[in-house]
Amino acid sequence: MSFGELVSIQPNELRFPFELKKQISCSLQLTNQTDHYVAFKVKTTNPKKYCVRPNTGVVLPRSTCDVVVTMQAQREAPPDMQCKDKFLIQSVVTTDGATQKDITPEMFNKDAGNHLEECKLRVMYVSPPQPPSPVAEGSEEGSSPRASLSDIGNAAAFDSVLREDLDSKDKVSEARVAISRLTEEKSSVIQLNNKLQQELELLRTQSSRAGGGIPFLYVVIVGLLGILIGYLIRRT
């Protein structure tokens, strides 16, 4: 943005996306920074090449005015895309209520003692937006492009990892079933052991009352059950 006492101008240079045989436009915004009416005039070093609308006008106090600059279609590009064209924007305080019809060439004459403000802008050419990249060779519209070797290798590796993961999950499931079955067997044996302990205690009580001992065979059975229970407990 270019600042002056009377007006500020944005942008501070004219940028045209250059294309052969095509009219191109860009705009300027003039902002009146005073409480007075300000008249302006736009000049260029190459008037046949550009069209400025409006090229003269009045900006109201604390207001803005848009100026459109159109470059005529060019038949050839300049060397290295460099442009030497320049614009000059002159501004001067005018009477309140003035309009574009009230503007005269004498208002922008320095020799007449007018307080004239000038701002110079250069012209720059920029490359136009690039078109989208063409469809890659070998792919057809409406069909998916062929997978590359790296994609195939990645897919095979993924399948291998997936199979290993599924195998691990199957082994975990089998282990859980086995643990559940052993836990149920352990619970059944513990219940049987408790029942036998109760019957043994009952027999001891009856034997003590009758003055006799516990049958040897029963003691052997209880011992074997104790060994079996201990084995099952260690497995779980």
pLDDT exceeds 80 at position 149: no
pTM: 0.54
User: Which of 39, 45, 53, 34 has its CA nearest to residue 97?
Assistant: 39
Q: What is the DSSP code (8-state) at residue 1?
A: -
Q: Determine which helix (DSSP H) or strand (DSSP E) holds 165, and give its type and residue range.
A: helix 149-210
Report whether 110 contacts 118 (CB < 8 A). Answer: no
pLDDT exceeds 60 at position 42: yes
pLDDT exceeds 90 at position 112: no
pLDDT exceeds 90 at position 41: yes
pLDDT exceeds 70 at position 201: yes
pLDDT exceeds 80 at position 56: yes
pLDDT exceeds 70 at position 159: no
Looking at per-residue confidence, does 113 or 229 come out higher?
A: 113
User: Quick count: other Cβ atoms within 10 Å of Cβ 211?
Assistant: 6
pLDDT of residue 143: 47
Give the CA-trace dihedral at 96, 100, 104, 108, to 10 degrees. 70
Q: Which residue has the tokens 């045209």?
A: 16
State the number of CA atoms in the 13 A half-sphere of 151 facing the CB. Answer: 4
65-78 pLDDT per residue, tens? 999 999 999 999 88
Report whether 112 contacts 90 (CB < 8 A). Answer: no
